[in-house]
A = this chain, B = another copy of it.
Amino acid sequence: MEREIQVGLIGLGTIGRGVARLLLERSAELCYGRGFDLELVRIADLDVTTPRGIELPGEILTTDAYEIIDDSRISVVIELIGGIEPARTYILSALEKGKSVVTANKAVLSQHGKELLQAAEKNGVLLFFEASVCGGIPIIRILREGLVANRIEKLYGILNGTTNYILTRMAQDGSSFQGALRQAQQRGYAEADPTLDISGQDAAQKLSILLRVGFNASIGVEDIFCEGIEKVAPQDITYARELGYTIKLLAIAKRLETRIEARVHPVLIPSGTLLADVRDEFNSVELTGDAVGTQIFYGKGAGEMPTASAVVADVIEIAQQNIRQSLPTVNQMLPADERLTLLHMEEVETPYYFRFTVIDKPGVLAEIARLLAVEGISIASVIQKERRQGGAVPIVMMTHRAKEKAMRLAISNIDQLPVVKAPTQVIRVEEV
């Protein structure tokens, strides 16, 4: 006999609609041979009147999330409202009522993951969140199960589709940042207020989740160094290309013994690498495990059906664990390894791309080179092409590896030179 697993959905936005579609239209197929059936019995949303282009069974809609949380027939709750509150309270209440929860909410996970996980474990239920990172790419499962025998040494992620789309437009069409952002907004890839994406915060939230699952490291999103793409200028993209590089917003994590490097910022990566070729709104994660070596995963990181696909995969796995009716169940996070601590950003070492804006007169390059040398930073190459009488010209420079602290000191000194006419553009380089 098939056991029926009843599911409630909180939040009927874009992703919620995709989830409803899959569960209402495909549950028999999805559950074929598994010994259970999934039934979506209730959907809560503040707005129950706007048509969503999906046919819903009568009476399934409610405006009150607690009609799901308090419904004793429902064993799995899907939270898709996003943001911190009331999402956190809904998730906690559902867990405390003995329901497993599936969420796509990276904000609440990156800020309250520990509290939520503890509530799940205390109540012997599951908290799954595949959809919170990279939409349809099953990166959480890959880390948690597929690569479980590895020590993950390195992770590079293009985790935010909006910024990757903007940087792709800037590189391919020569658009300015503002122009590319408007295009992204017109195509629905960027929100009216794009701050969370542009600033790198969205990627940092996702990196915090990947650090927890992949590195077993508990690093709060507020501790991850984060720099957005708004400062990337078309000329940086042009110079980078000339030097053989492509500019991407990368989330970067590395393990160095018990220290964890974790940062999100624009970087120059070598053109022609698979990561540099990830275009438009696509996401990608490059992982290095000590046993498997380097692996790359690529796909759509957002959107209705890709994200819904990840949510429903979680629901099925929970149902699978539930029908066994036995504990302990296996959550997507294991206990964190408390020995792992964050490497301070000032200790991080990378090569750098500098674009100085200087008065074009003899001795300027020598003076800059001297101030870099004082901090132990050695130059790899220089581009100084435009010659103009008076006015400011750019000098572009690539350096060898140096610590962030040394770089900041050197640049702060250089930017005080009278011949330097604008703050120096600094973009880190990563030889992925």
Complex CA distance for A334 and B328, rounded to whole angstroms: 24
- Residues of A26-45 whose CB lies within 8 A of B: 26, 29-30, 32-35
Known: A299-B296, A305-B291, A320-B330. A313 touches B146 (CB 8 A): yes
Give the Cβ gap from A310 to chain B, nearest Cβ, in Å: 8
Find out whether the CB atom of A274 lies under 8 angstroms from the CB atom of B295.
no
Answer yes or no: A13 CB below 8 A from chain B CBs. Answer: no
- Residues of chain A in range 286-337 having any CB-CB distance to chain B below 8 Å: 289-300, 303, 305-306, 308-313, 316-317, 320, 323-328, 330, 334-335, 337
What is the count of identical protomers in the complex? Answer: 2
Does A146 contact B138, Cβ atoms closer than 8 Å?
Answer: yes
**Is there contact, CB below 8 Å, between B146 and A141?**
yes
* Stretch in A147-155, A163-171, A258-266 touching the partner: A147-155
A295/B292 in contact, CB under 8 A: no
B136 touching A291, Cβ below 8 Å: yes
Give the size category of A's interface with B: 35 or more
Q: Which residues of A contact B (CB under 8 A)?
A: 18, 22, 26, 29-30, 32-35, 130, 135-138, 141-142, 145-151, 274, 277, 289-300, 303, 305-306, 308-313, 316-317, 320, 323-328, 330, 334-335, 337
Given contacts A141-B145, A290-B305, 20 further A-B contacts (CB under 8 A): A22-B291, A34-B330, A136-B147, A136-B289, A136-B291, A138-B141, A138-B142, A138-B145, A141-B141, A142-B146, A146-B310, A149-B310, A274-B277, A291-B308, A291-B309, A292-B305, A295-B300, A296-B298, A298-B298, A323-B328
